[in-house]
Chain A
Amino acid sequence: MLGRKQLKGKGSGLKGGLFSGRRIGTGDLRTYEDLNKYRRAVSRRSKTILALSILGLILIFFAALMIGSYRLSVVEVVGMLLGTSDDPVGSYIVTEVRVPRILCCIAVGAALSASGLVMQSLFKNPMASPSVLGISSGAAFGASLALAFGVGGFLGRYMVPGMAFAFCFITMTAVYMLARTRYGVVSTTLLLAGVAIGAFFSGLVSLLQYVVNENVLSNIVYWTMGSFNNCGWESFQLAIFPVVAGLMIMLFNIKELNLVAAGEEQAVNMGVNIKKLRILMITATSLAVGGSVAISGVIGFVGLIVPHIFRMAVGPNHALLMPLCIFGGGIFMILMDTIAKSAFAMSLPVGVLTALIGAPFFIYVMRTKKKEIWD
């Protein structure tokens, strides 16, 4: 039974984000009944936000279906989705170009956002994300090896995602091993290790670009900018298995992630096997990032921006944050891709746009909201 003083304490794990301060009023908690009411309110609001994000994803999915260089009305798009349209070109555009492209956006956005969240919690570092820790560069090198020399050819059509996954895993393990000390993972060392390993793999990608012929070179260059232009059903099929497998592992370990985020020592006391959790999370992140990088190339900042936006909105509870990052990541990526393909005279690589928008946004967030993010 919680005592009155404990309930009034400032350090309540329930404080934060949308639920902090005046909105719900943790300061008014006096009895156990108050705490239950507070929890129910949090739960209701969490469910509402989650429902809104799912609704948002559905709405933006259909909105993105309407937007493109081939003009189609809402009625026509619905007709094409239901198979009642007699316009073969429109049907092709909707069912073979736009739908798989948007699904790829959702898969990649979800994978990168959830991976960013996991890395930030696991390494207790707000700067951690697949691109900042060099994981994307590692994946880029693996995939470039496959593209340039057919390395990993025994994997057949899974050659590129397979190599991207393998190098994600190698990079993440290397960064983690370099940053680990007997006292745990040191944040600064982790970032520096990530920067160093990322630079190393970027150097190797540059070396590959230097030695390959012009055709392979333009493939690698275009691919390292990140784009959904070549994403069809085949790409979606390639990515969906590793991405879903990675996300499932993350979702099944939400409780452990919450405990680790609160402190490794407490997590160990609560029975969390930290070593096993790290291996699981590194595997999950490698699967998710490898799968996404393999179809879309390197798209930076998604794993950094999306988790921070939602952490500011709903606080640090992974039970809510993780699904929000999955749905929100999808929404963010669809938005970015729709702008990249439709807002300019030519179709821009989406990775260029996320970097252009992501970097200043992140600086803004870091300068104005850093206290809210991690308090």
Chain B
Amino acid sequence: MLKTNMIMSVIAVAVLVVAAAGTYVILNSDEPEKKGLYKLDATVISVDMGKCSATPAVIVTLEDMYKAYYGDLVRNDLTLADARSDATFWSKYCEWTPIIESNPDGTFDVRVATNAKGTETKNIPVCDTAIILGTMYSETLYYLICTEYGTDVYSDESYSDQNIRDYMNKTVAGGMQYSYFERDNVDYMSNLIDAGSYIDIGVTSVQSLDAERLASALVEAKARTSGNVVYFASGTRISTSEHYNNNTGPCVATGTHYAFFSPSEIKEVFASVECIGLLMGFSEETVYGLIEDIQLRMYKVYYSVQEKTAKRTAEKAYWEGSSGKAVSSAMANVILEFLGFNNSLLDGAEHDVESLLVDRPAFLIFYTNDGRTSGEMMRENN
């Protein structure tokens, strides 16, 4: 009996010594054990959600994501002529179908697209004021005015340029909830647009629009100008006839023009820039100058991606929204495909740490406005 007790005591002491030694080693280790998605050793980036839609800003996302994953561009001396001569690139990403056509009387025929009613053609004159629901249209205007004045976008110089400020304040008379710009770090809007004069319609989406507020905003915008007012919104989100009536009714009643866009491909960026630019009275030089600049920058990224991924199986990338689910938008898929990634994980589903460790994505993408901590996003506690 005594012998058994002794053996048990020795074993217990041995276990304690091993545990203590193990704890010491772990706590004093130079490299702490990686947890959660850090185990993947993947490249991680946070991108601006507003720059992942069909706006000129998509080029910023493409460049940032390329730089984060691949590093420097392979060649920086490429020209637009090189881009045009690359038939695959040009036809897939740069040849757009125009949605605007000019008429001899100076007006335009604009193809307005909504999920509720399909495509309609509206005759719209040149407008100088807009009520805008969505950031895509104001961002396009910001790019156009910066191109016109030769100023870098998102630069302090552009935010302090009085011409740009005046233009944005006059043209973007109002629209989506102003607090959204501050909340979601839409810097060019919160820096340039004066909250006091901005006509806030109190919503961020066409689905929750109050027709009366829109009508009031349109009346106020019309009172500020002797020119024409246009209402820009997302046609993709106008998916029922109730949404359609709610968004178009106030425009018809107030004599305001409207244009809805439903882009789902990179090349439709150019259709939107062309349409918004010409409609808002920018010169062809400015409009097509901006388009060519984006096309060239896109080609530099595209060329480098082709070089870097030649004879290699495409790596998987995982792009997660702030809801914790994989994004599934058409533009996100196109962006990943453009950058040479396998986009099979962009299925809109929730992926737990186990499935991601099995799928082994090499590139993890989150949004800058994600409210979670980096530990939560990387499932550090798993």
Contacts and interface: CB of A to CB of B under 8 A. Distances in A.
Contacts, number: 92
B322 interface: no
Interface in A68-88: 68-70, 88
B212 A93 contact: yes
B340 interface: no
B309 interface: no
Contact of B213 (A69, A210, A211, A215): A69
A97 B211 contact: yes
A218 B240 CA distance: 13
A363 interface: no
A2 interface: no
Main secondary structure of the interface of A (DSSP, over half): helix
Interface string A138-159: 0000000000000000000100
A232 B219 contact: no
Contacts of B237: 215, 218
Interface in A5-37: none
Contacts of A219: 207, 239-240
Interface in A53-105: 68-70, 88-89, 91-93, 96-98
Contact of B208 (A70, A216, A345, A347): A347
B331 to A, nearest CB: 11
Contact of B242 (A91, A231, A346, A347): A231
B115 A215 contact: yes
Interface string A226-249: 010111101100000000000000
Contacts of A157: 241
A214 interface: yes
Contacts of A230: 207, 240, 242-243, 246
A25 B349 CA distance: 67
Contacts of B212: 68-70, 93, 97-98, 341
B289 interface: no
A17 B283 CA distance: 75
B79 interface: no
B329 interface: yes
Interface in B325-360: 325, 328-329, 348-350
Contacts of B236: 215
Given A68-B212, A70-B212, A92-B253, A218 B241 contact: no
B115 A96 contact: no
Interface in B175-212: 177, 200, 202-203, 205, 207-212
Contacts of A96: 211, 249, 253
A68 B216 CA distance: 10
A88 B233 CA distance: 23
B356 to A, nearest CB: 18
Contacts of A345: 200, 202
B228 interface: no
A287 B241 CA distance: 23
B78 to A, nearest CB: 35
B245 interface: yes
A216 B246 CA distance: 17
A361 interface: no
A85 to B, nearest CB: 12
B249 A232 contact: yes
Given A89-B254, A232-B246, A97 B115 contact: no
Nearest to A349: B208
Contacts of B239: 215-216, 219
Nearest to B252: A92
A96 B177 CA distance: 24
Task: Bin chain B's interface residue count.
Answer: 35 or more
B216 A69 contact: yes
Contacts of A216: 239
B130 interface: no
B328 A218 contact: no
Nearest to B249: A96
B174 interface: no
B250 interface: yes
A346 B202 contact: yes
A179 to B, nearest CB: 35
A88 B215 CA distance: 11
B204 to A, nearest CB: 9
A215 to B, nearest CB: 6
A213 interface: yes
B205 A97 contact: no
A229 B216 contact: no
Contacts of B207: 218-219, 222, 230
A182 B277 CA distance: 74
Given A214-B328, A219-B239, A229-B210, A97 B215 contact: yes
A303 B250 CA distance: 33
Contact of B205 (A89, A218, A341, A349): A218
Contacts of B211: 96-97, 229, 232
Contacts of A210: 325, 349-350
Contacts of B241: 157, 234
Contact of B249 (A97, A214, A341, A349): A97
B115 A229 contact: no
Given A68-B212, A214-B328, A215-B236, A232 B242 contact: yes
B205 A88 contact: no
A211 B249 CA distance: 32
A150 to B, nearest CB: 11
Interface string B252-272: 111100000000000000000
Contacts of B243: 230
For A89, A210, A230, the residue with the greatest tally of chain B CB atoms inside 10 Å of its CB is: A230
Contacts of A347: 202-203, 208, 210, 213
B209 A234 contact: no
Contacts of A231: 242
Contacts of B253: 88-89, 91-93, 96
Given A96-B249, A230-B242, A230-B243, A214 B177 contact: no
Given A219-B239, A231-B242, 20 more contacts: A69-B216, A88-B255, A92-B249, A96-B253, A213-B328, A213-B329, A213-B348, A215-B236, A215-B239, A229-B211, A229-B246, A230-B207, A230-B243, A232-B245, A232-B249, A234-B241, A235-B242, A346-B177, A346-B202, A347-B202
Complex A-B, nearest 9 residue pairs according to Cβ-Cβ distance, in ascending order: A92-B253, A346-B202, A230-B242, A347-B210, A70-B216, A69-B216, A69-B213, A97-B211, A68-B212
Interface of B: 115, 177, 200, 202-203, 205, 207-213, 215-216, 219, 236-237, 239-243, 245-246, 249-250, 252-255, 325, 328-329, 348-350
Interface of A: 68-70, 88-89, 91-93, 96-98, 157, 210-211, 213-216, 218-219, 222, 227, 229-232, 234-235, 341, 345-347, 349
7 contacts: A69-B210, A89-B254, A92-B249, A210-B350, A214-B329, A230-B242, A347-B208
